[in-house]
A = this chain, B = another copy of it.
Amino acid sequence: MTEITPPAGAETHGIGRAVIIGAGLIGASIGCALSTAGYAVHLRDHKISHARVAAGLGAGTLEPPVSTDVALVVVAVPPGAIPDLVVHSLQVYPNATVTDVGSVKAGVLDTLWQRHVELSRYVGSHPMAGSHHSGPMTAHPDLFVDRTWVVTPHRRSAAESVDQVRAAVRACRAREVIMDVDDHDAAVARVSHLPHLMSVLVASRLTGIPERDLMLAGQGLRDVTRIAGSDPMLWQQIVGANSDAVLEELRGMQDQLGLLIKAVEATPATDDLQGQLERGVAGTRKIAGKHGAAAVRYSEVVVAIPDEPGALARLFGEVGAAGVNVEDISIEHDPVREVGYLSLSVAPEQEDALVETMLSHGWNVS
């Protein structure tokens, strides 16, 4: 699709000329979104194949722009390469606002300070669009729709440049959040980097235990360790770029772990352990549930499904025909039998109807 019509309801914001450096999933998707919104987008990537694929998807052109015409540069490269490319872009495009989409913000700003670069045209940002994919093949103009996108102005940023970045965020139809650079980095250390590293530590321990122990592993272990499977190179750069905030979290975790050990040692003489477990429950409730509402408890119905094409289709067809609205689904696979266990979460008042429907169609419900 080389031509994309703006979706109904999309506003077209400040039409301008933009350069996107890095045509991976994020960069190419921003290109698609900005092109859709009416920007003239120029793509750059040291992997020319990435830039070509992105251009083919409607993310922009491979033609170089007249550098003085460029109003916005988006640096969308791996964290380690961001500071140099921001400096470079400020020099090459003298009239452009430069932003980046890295997940850590202070380091970029520090580099600009250290190199005595004029800072007013740089405004960092961070779109929260997660994906395991890194290439542009699955780029899409809607990748950021209603996702949080943090913009991090600083003391020296020009109001005009902040507006330029905010306009681009709105053009991507993301949910804009303005944060101080250090507040942003502390926040991602808390909600992303620390959880990631804890997942890594739990997963690491599995490398040193007897094989047989793993037969006793369940879905909980899989959930806790899933993100530890992410690209170590990327995460080394992310954690390295945010090491101060991450170290503060890790040291806080060290204190908490010490208290937990004391609580387990004191069991059952004291209730400290239960208090800590309850604080964990309270923490899970703080993560917003569906649609921004407080976390809701749904009823869960588990159905055994044969591992064959069409089984899920048949099941969801029957669920739909019964008028049941499934709120969430997950599959746990049996490690030996060719079968999966599908968990369907539904509003408590729909549980009975769902169970009846499933049983009447011959499914094994547990």
Binding stretch for chain B, among A93-101, A138-146, A162-170 = A138-146
Binding stretch for chain B, among A46-54, A153-161, A195-203 = A195-203
A215 CA to B287 CA in the complex, in Å?
9
Q: A128-B216, A261-B251 are in contact. Are A205 and B283 (CB under 8 A)?
A: yes
Q: A204-B256, A204-B276 are in contact. Are A221 and B195 (CB under 8 A)?
A: yes
Q: Does B218 lie within 8 Å of A128, measured CB to CB? A: yes
Residues of B within 8 A of A223 (CB): 223-224, 226-227
The residue that A140 contacts in the complex, of B203, B265, B308, B364, with Cβ under 8 A, is B364
Q: Does B243 lie within 8 Å of A191, measured CB to CB? A: no
Q: A128-B216, A223-B223, A316-B315 are in contact. Are A250 and B260 (CB under 8 A)?
A: yes
Q: A140-B366, A304-B142 are in contact. Are A229 and B284 (CB under 8 A)?
A: yes
In chain A between 177 and 201, which residues have their CB closer than 8 angstroms to a CB of chain B?
Answer: 177, 179, 183-184, 186-188, 190-192, 194-201
Binding stretch for chain B, among A8-16, A62-70, A111-119, A318-326 = A318-326
Residues of B within 8 A of A243 (CB): 264-265, 267
Q: A187-B212, A291-B338, A333-B291 are in contact. Are A282 and B207 (CB under 8 A)?
A: yes
A130 on the B face (CB < 8 A): yes
Copies in the complex: 2
Query: Size range of the interface on A?
Result: 35 or more
Give me 16 A-to-B residue pairs in the complex whose CB atoms sit less than 8 angstroms apart, sorted by A's number.
Answer: A130-B218, A138-B302, A187-B209, A188-B216, A190-B213, A198-B202, A204-B283, A205-B256, A217-B287, A233-B274, A239-B273, A254-B261, A289-B333, A312-B319, A315-B316, A316-B316
A residues with CB within 8 A of B: 29, 128, 130-133, 138, 140, 142-143, 145-148, 150, 175, 177, 179, 183-184, 186-188, 190-192, 194-207, 209-210, 212-230, 232-233, 235-236, 239-240, 243, 246-247, 249-254, 256-258, 260-261, 264-265, 267-268, 273-274, 276-292, 300-302, 304, 307-321, 323-326, 328-331, 333-339, 364-366
